[in-house]
A and B are shown apart, each in its own frame.
Chain A
Amino acid sequence: MSFEFKSESEPESFIRVDGVWKSFDTHPVLRGISLDVAAHSATVLIGASGSGKSTLLRCINALETVDAGSIVVDSELDVTAFNADLDAIRRRIGIVFQSYNLFPHMKVLENITLGPTRVLKRSKKESIEAAMQLLTRFGLEAKAHDYPDRLSGGQSQRVAIVRALAMEPEIMLFDEITSALDPMLVGEVLDTVRELREGGLTIVMATHEMSFAKEIADQVCFLRDGVVWESGSAEQIFEAPQRAETQSFLHRVN
Chain B
Amino acid sequence: MNTPVPGADTVYIDPLRQERSRKKARRDAAIGIASLLGFVIVIVLLVGRSSGWEAVQKTFFDGDQFVESFPGLLQAFWLNVRIFLIAEPLILIVGLLVALARTVKSPIFLPVRVLATLYVDIFRGVPTILIIFLLGFGMPALQLPGVPSDAIFWGTAALVLSYGAYVAEVFRAGIGSVHPSQTMAARSLGLSSFQTNRFVVLPQAVRNVTPPLLNDFISLQKDTALVAVLGPIEILRRAQIDTSSNFNYTPYVGAALIFIALTIPMTRFADWIQVRSARKRQAGGVS
In the complex, the answer to whether A105 meets B207 with C-beta atoms within 8 Å is yes
Asked if B199 is an interface residue, CB under 8 A from chain A, the answer is yes
Distance from A103 Cβ to chain B, minimum over Cβ atoms (Å): 6
Q: Are B190 and A115 in contact (CB under 8 A)?
A: yes
Our pick among A101, A102, A119, A149 for the contact of B280 (Cβ within 8 Å) is A149
Of all chain A residues, the one with the shortest Cβ separation from B207 is A105
Q: How far is the CB of B237 from chain A (nearest CB, A)?
A: 44
Closest to A152 in B: B285
Is the C-beta of B273 less than 8 angstroms from some C-beta in chain A? no
Contact A103 B182, beta carbon cutoff 8 Å: yes
Q: How far is the CA of A180 from the CA of B286 in the complex (A)?
A: 9
Contacts of B287 in A (CB 8 A): 100-102, 104, 148-149
Interface residues of A in 90-121 (CB under 8 A from B): 90-91, 94-95, 97, 99-105, 114-115, 118-120
- Across the A-B interface, how many residue pairs have beta carbons closer than 8 Å? 70
Q: Are A61 and B280 in contact (CB under 8 A)?
A: no
Taking CB atoms, residues of chain B closer than 8 Å to A61 are: 188
A99 to B185, CA, bound (A): 10
B185–A101 touching, CB < 8 Å: yes
Contacts of A100 in B (CB 8 A): 286-287
| B240 contacts partner chain A, Cβ-Cβ < 8 Å | no
B189, B204, B287: most-surrounded residue (chain A CB, <10 A)? B189
Minimum CB–CB distance from A194 to chain B (whole Å) comes to 22
Contact A86–B189 (Cβ < 8 Å): no
Assess whether A99 is in contact with B189, with CB atoms less than 8 Å apart: no
Residues of A within 8 A of B184 (CB): 63, 97, 101
0 or 1 for each of A72-104: is its CB under 8 Å from B? (1 = yes): 000000000000001100110011010111111
Contacts of B182 in A (CB 8 A): 101, 103
Q: How far is the CA of A120 from the CA of B192 in the complex (A)?
A: 12
CA distance A103 to B187 in the complex (A): 12
What B residues does A90 contact at CB under 8 A? 187-190
Counting CB contacts under 8 A, is B177 at the interface?
Answer: no
List CB contacts (< 8 Å) of B148-195 with chain A.
181-182, 184-191, 195
A120–B189 alpha-carbon span in the complex (Å) = 10
* A163 touches B (CB below 8 Å): yes
A–B pairs, 11, beta carbons within 8 Å: A101-B287, A103-B200, A118-B191, A118-B195, A119-B189, A119-B191, A119-B195, A149-B284, A153-B286, A164-B188, A167-B189
Mark A residues whose CB is within 8 Å of B. 61, 63, 86-87, 90-91, 94-95, 97, 99-105, 114-115, 118-120, 148-149, 153, 156, 163-164, 167, 180
Instruction: Tell me the B residues contacting A by CB distance below 8 Å.
Output: 181-182, 184-191, 195, 199-200, 203-204, 207, 280, 283-287
